[in-house]
Amino acid sequence: MKLIDKERKLSTFAIIGKHFEKYRISMFVAAVFLSLFALFYVIYWNFDENSAGILIDNLYLVAYITFFVIAQTMLIFLILNKFKKLSTTALAIYTHVTCFLLIAWGTFVCILDLQLGITPLIHLLVCTVIAGLFILEPFFYLGCVVISVVTLLVFHIINKFAFFADNNPYQIEHIAESVIFIVVTVLICFRRFNVVNSEYHAKKKLEELTYYDELTGLLNERSYIGETERINESIDKGEEKPFAIILMDVNNLKATNDKYGHRYGCSLVVRCGHTLPELFASSKLFHVGGDEFIAIVEGKDYENFDAVLEHFLEVMTYSLVQYEGVELIFSVASGHAKYEKGDRFQDVLQRADSMMYINKAEIKAKYGMKGR
């Protein structure tokens, strides 16, 4: 289904957009904090009398200026989104790039701190917490953190920094910050996972209510209309693959309703909806209302159409079923037609519809049914 596939492709972006809207105030506060934090250190580094060397001092200065620019970009983006709604795609790209830059910046400053022999994880800890507010996908966040930690370990091994050495005056701070960093990362990932999971299930439920029939579990009339539009568009472009239509109508439904009640007639509709997926492996199945069903046969079902149709007729034409102690007639009239070059969808449907009414009359005459 073109419409459903499009919705699924955009589901992640849509969730991010919703997340962005929900937490934009918190993000704005975080961006202001980061701006002030960066600005303070830019000024501090210009007036600090203690020098760690011209190169290191300049690298720190450039790092904090860069951090200030990132924070300002965050503010600009939040303001733009406030006054002019941005697309969910733009929001998704922005949040991921911002988080990656924050964690990358924290890693870089950690390396500089290691060079000076001081405790390095405080900057990375701050950045991962802020990034956890902005980002949504837990695996992307965790991936960024893993890359950051691996980078730090590589520099640690190459330069042989005494990170946990007994003679390191910052040993206790290193251990404490490492534990805090691990705990915070796990908690943020867990929180991100819960947000994504809850949003996904909520969207999945909405999708089911929008595109699927609640009674039978099959695709509904809205999905059917979307599929007919997709097929006609493909035909116009000369891209449509072979397909067939099987049009179905549950027999004896009115008689069952009149004799036993609508609950019993409804059971026949439900039975049809639950049986069809067992007969078609690669086709799209629709309940388009009342006692009407449509199968758009394609893929392997179409390749084995004769065998699939024969099995379908054997199962669906006539049988006796039990429902709450009452024996009911389960019978489905059907008509089928294959797509031929030059057809529109409606042409194939019309041929199937004509055949279905002939089949309905034959079944009624054969089994002595009256009415609908």
Instruction: Judge whether 283 and 304 are in contact, CB under 8 Å.
Output: no
pLDDT tens for 316-325 read 999 999 998 8
Q: In the prediction, which pLDDT does 82 show?
A: 72
Decide: 96 and 135 in contact? Cβ < 8 Å.
yes
Could you give the domains of the chain?
Answer: 2-210 (no CATH), 221-367 (3.30.70.270)
Q: What is the pLDDT of residues 235-290, one digit of tens each?
A: 998 888 899 999 999 998 988 998 999 999 999 999 999 999 999 999 999 999 88
Q: Kindly report whether the global pTM for this prediction surpasses the value 0.75.
A: no
Residue 49 has pLDDT above 60, yes or no: no
pLDDT band of 57, cuts 50, 70, 90: confident
What's residue 70's pLDDT?
A: 82
> d(Cα 292, Cα 21) in Å, to the nearest integer?
42
User: Does residue 341 register a pLDDT over 70?
Assistant: yes
* pLDDT of the residue at 225: 92
